[in-house]
Amino acid sequence: MLEQSSAQDCVIEPFHEEEFDLRVLFEDRGDLELGCEQMCSKSTRSFDFQRLEGLVSLEGFGFIDELPGLGVKFTYDLETFDAFDNVETMVGVSVFENPHLEVMETLDSLTHLEHGANFEDNPKLVDLRALANVRQIGEVGGRHSPGLKLRNNMSLTSMAGLESVEVIGGQLLLADQHNIESMEGLDSLQEVEYFVILNAEYPDDRVKLNSLAGLENLRRIHKAITIENAPNLRRCEVEALIAQLEERPAVINLVGLSDEPCD
């Protein structure tokens, strides 16, 4: 879109008079042009990209280096998102109900999410590379820390894209992620407060999770581990994961797992 060198040392203002909340809303190409015209390097409001009818690819915003949050929600046609390469810290990232979004490219400079990340109902999203350089999500022991939540993103088959994540405050939640087969991609994860995998009751061949490979470096689940309705995941493998932790979680809830023995 526009080069970072053209940025102004100012704070971007919202475009719509009715915007009284803490966001700048982009709903069409005209809004994108208005944002680029301001060319401010900072925003005190989160950016929300919604609808954007007819827009297949969104790129740029490299001139922004301070942004509290990012939302990509309810887009009609968006397939690729490649923007905000110079923001190092955000409060949160939310990616909801984007029926055609396949690739959300790496937010290159982003290393810390203060609050959390949420990906929900993005049926074509192939991986989580957007967070490829993020080392910490949320704060362990924080008052408000949702962590990382994945729900109903049916093209995800692993946790690929999260290779840098070491700490998750709050939940690591996978809900109805039926096609994820393993935890590969979480190779750097060392601690999380709540480890949660939830599936509605389906036939055994519907939920593909069969391995916790990728969690070899996990040492702390501070509060609870819950896994429900993963019939191809062996209970003994979950017990082995718990055994590798420095301390057993206070709450262990394992329902609907396989009782097949481990090798």
Look up residue 147 and give its two tokens.
């962590």
What the chain holds in terms of domains, given with CATH numbers, is: 4-258 (3.80.10)
Instruction: Give the mean model confidence (pLDDT) for residues 167-181.
Output: 97
CA distance 6 to 8: 7
Report the pLDDT value the prediction gives residue 206, as an integer from 0 to 100.
Answer: 86
Contact 242, 253 (CB under 8 A): no
Report the pLDDT value the prediction gives residue 210, as an integer from 0 to 100.
Answer: 97
Tens of pLDDT, residues 26-68:
999 999 999 888 999 999 999 999 999 999 999 999 999 999 9
Largest CA distance in the chain: 64
**DSSP character at residue 176:** S
Report the pLDDT value the prediction gives residue 1, as an integer from 0 to 100.
Answer: 43
Contact 170, 194 (CB under 8 A): yes
CA distance 25 to 56: 18
CA-CA distances (angstroms) from residue 178 to 187, 203, 213, 215?
Answer: 21, 11, 16, 19
Contacts of 233 (CB under 8 A, 6+ apart): 209, 210, 211, 212, 227, 257, 258
Indicate the pLDDT class of residue 113, thresholds 50, 70 and 90: very high
Query: Residue 112 burial (CB < 10 Å; 0-12/13-18/19+)?
Result: middle
pLDDT at position 172 over 90: yes
pTM: 0.95
Question: In the chain, helix, strand, coil percent, each to 5?
Answer: 10, 35, 55
Instruction: Give the mean model confidence (pLDDT) for residues 15-24.
Output: 74
